[in-house]
Amino acid sequence: MLARTSLYLALAASALAVPVAQAATTDIAPASATSASQPVKTDPLYTYQWHLMNYGQKAIGDTRPVSGIDLKIDSLHTQNVRGKGVKVAVVDDGLEIRHADLLKNVVIGGSKNFVDGSNDPTPANTSDEHGTSVSGIIGAVGWNGIGGRGVAPEASLKGFNFLSSDVDGLENDQDTNIRYSWGNGREAKDAEVFNNSWGSAAWYYPAVDPLETASWEKLMSSTRNGKGGVYLKAAGNSFKTLSLFGIFELCEQDTRDLNIGCSLANTDSLNNLFTTIVVASVNASGKRASYSSPGSAVWISGLGGEFGFQKKYYPDTSNIVDWAKATFYDPAIVTTDLTGCGAGANADRDDGTIENALDTSASPLDKSCDYWGGMNGTSAATPTVAGVVALMLGVNPNLSARDVKHILAHSARQVDPLQPKAIYKGAIQDPGWITNAAGLHYSNWYGFGLVDATAAVRAASNFQSLPAQHDTGWLTSADKAVAIEGVGSQASKLTVNVADNLKVEGVQLGFTTTHEHPRQLRVILTSPSGTKSYVMPAFSTLTDTTGGFAVDLTSSNAFLDEKSAGNWTLQVLDMADSSATAQLQTFNLRVVGH
Which residues are identified as catalytic? 92, 130, 379
Burial class (CB in 10 A: 0-12, 13-18, 19+), 488: exposed
Q: Which stretches does DSSP call E strand in 467-528?
A: 470-471, 475-476, 482-483, 493-498, 504-513, 521-526
Half-sphere exposure of 370 (CA within 13 A, CB side): 18
Q: How far is CA 506 from CA 273, 280, 443, 589, in A?
A: 9, 18, 15, 11
Beta bridge partners of 504: 593
Torsion of the alpha carbons at 98, 103, 106 and 107, rounded to the nearest 10? 80
DSSP string, 527-543: -TT--EEEEE-TTSS--
Closest listed residue to residue 337, CA positions, set 94, 75, 154, 64: 94
CA distance linking residue 430 with residue 260, whole number of Å: 7
Query: Residue 68: is it exposed, middle or buried by C-beta count within 10 angstroms (0-12/13-18/19+)?
Result: exposed
**Residue 60 zone, left/alpha/beta (φ > 0; ψ -120 to 50; rest):** beta
* SS3 at position 224: coil
For residues 479 and 495, the answer to whether their CB atoms sit within 8 Å is yes
Cα–chain-centroid distance for residue 128?
20
Name the phi and psi angles at 588, rounded to 5.
Answer: -120, 145
Strands (E), 104-256: 156-160, 193-196, 198-199, 230-234, 243-244, 248-249
